[in-house]
């Protein structure tokens, strides 16, 4: 748990700010509002989470918004890792789990140039920025306040975060979406737990989904899914 010395000092009369950071009625209400916004779209949830951090005077570093040593380095490493991770999932992991090679939810994107602008926004902003801000940055901060910051607590938070992340993907992608989201949630969660920084997971998540988009658009799903396992 955070020590008293590390907690921000609130003005004596600023009960609202203190309430947002706590787990009383106001704190729980803020969690419910952010969760509801995330159910609509992770982008809304992320904006609400950032608004909560600003109004509650939560240091940005506590939700992972730490300036990277190199913006270019974070972008390149995140993009390379995310793309390679998706190829690994598509060619080896998901076939081993018995997943259908074709993602029926997004099958309509094959050669669909008109849909690309909207999907690019969804993959980069909604998924990369939105989901990582909520399911890694915000969730880790809230659960960290409850469970602590030790190794065991972080492991539990990674598991809980991956579980919630996976549940969100069931409605549109079914069991295969849940299976993939559990694995990606665990990987991105571990990265965040170890580094405490959000930018690399954001870049990796966006690259993961952009690679998935490219695979579908070029109609390569079946080829990749049978690349190793014929």
Can you read off the two tokens belonging to residue 196?
């405490």
Do 89 and 195 touch, CB atoms closer than 8 A?
Answer: no
In b/e form, how buried is each residue of 169-183, taking b as 16+ CB within 10 angstroms? beeebeebbbbbbbb
pLDDT in tens, 124-166: 999 999 999 999 999 999 999 999 989 999 999 999 999 999 9
What pLDDT, on a 0 to 100 scale, did the predictor assign at position 230?
72
With cut-offs at 50, 70 and 90, classify the pLDDT of residue 6: very low
What pLDDT, on a 0 to 100 scale, did the predictor assign at position 184?
97
What pLDDT, on a 0 to 100 scale, did the predictor assign at position 5?
42
Distance CA 80, CA 142 (A): 30
What pLDDT, on a 0 to 100 scale, did the predictor assign at position 11?
54
Under 8 Å CB-to-CB from 97, ≥6 apart: which residues?
176, 179
Mean pLDDT of 181-197: 96
Collapsed DSSP state (helix, strand, coil) of residue 24 = coil
What pLDDT, on a 0 to 100 scale, did the predictor assign at position 65?
97
What pLDDT, on a 0 to 100 scale, did the predictor assign at position 229?
85
Residue appearing with tokens 């993602």: 103
CA nearest neighbour of 54 among 22, 24, 26, 21: 21
Can you read off the two tokens belonging to residue 139?
């969730």
At residue 103, what are phi and psi to the nearest 5 degrees? Answer: -85, 100
> What sections of the chain are H helices per DSSP?
15-21, 25-40, 42-55, 71-88, 94-96, 116-121, 132, 139-147, 151-168, 170-195, 199-217, 221-225
Distance CA 17, CA 202 (A): 28
What's the predicted TM-score (pTM) here?
0.90
What pLDDT, on a 0 to 100 scale, did the predictor assign at position 209?
97
Q: Which one-letter DSSP state was computed for residue 9?
A: P
Residue appearing with tokens 């990606």: 184
């Amino acid at each position: 748990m955070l020590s008293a010395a590390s907690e921000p000092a609130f003005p004596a009369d600023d009960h609202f700010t203190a309430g947002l950071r706590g787990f009383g009625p106001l704190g729980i209400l803020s969690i419910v509002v952010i969760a509801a916004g995330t159910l609509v779209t992770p982008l809304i949830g992320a904006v609400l989470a950032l608004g909560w951090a600003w109004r509650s005077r939560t240091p940005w570093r506590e939700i992972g918004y730490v300036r990277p040593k190199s913006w270019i380095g974070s972008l390149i490493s995140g993009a390379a890792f995310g793309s390679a991770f998706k190829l690994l999932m598509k060619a080896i992991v998901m076939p081993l789990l018995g997943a259908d090679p074709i993602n029926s939810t997004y099958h309509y994107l094959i050669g669909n140039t008109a849909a690309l602008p909207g999907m690019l926004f969804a993959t980069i902003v909604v998924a990369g920025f939105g989901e990582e801000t909520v399911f890694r940055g915000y969730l880790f901060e809230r659960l960290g306040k409850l469970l602590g910051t030790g190794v065991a607590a972080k492991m539990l938070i990674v598991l809980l975060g991956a579980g919630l992340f996976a549940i969100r993907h069931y409605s549109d992608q079914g069991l295969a979406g849940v299976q993939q989201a559990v694995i990606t949630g665990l990987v991105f969660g571990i990265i965040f737990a170890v580094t405490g920084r959000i930018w690399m997971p954001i870049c990796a998540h966006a690259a993961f989904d952009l690679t998935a988009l490219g695979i579908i658009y070029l109609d390569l799903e079946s080829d990749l899914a049978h690349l190793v396992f014929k």
